[in-house]
Amino acid sequence: MTSVFFLAVTPFVSAMTMDDVTTAVEQELTFTDIEVSEVPSEVIEAAKKEFPGTEVEKAQVAEVSGEKIYKIVVKDADGVNQTGLYNSNGDSYVPEA
pLDDT tens-digit map of 13-57: 444 455 555 554 545 789 999 999 999 999 999 999 999 999 999
**Residue 50, CB-side half-sphere exposure with 13 Å CA sphere:** 22
Residues 92, 86 contacting (CB under 8 angstroms) = yes
Which pLDDT score, from 0 to 100, does residue 28 have? 75
The number of residues making up the chain comes to 97
pTM of the model: 0.71
Q: What is the dihedral of CA 77, 59, 91, 2, to 10 degrees?
A: -110
- pLDDT for 17 equals 52
- Spatial CB neighbours of 30, under 8 Å, sequence gap ≥ 6: 62
How would you classify the pairing of strands 81-87 and 32-34? unpaired
From residue 38, how far is each of 26, 60, 72, 82, 92 by CA, in Å? Answer: 20, 10, 12, 20, 18
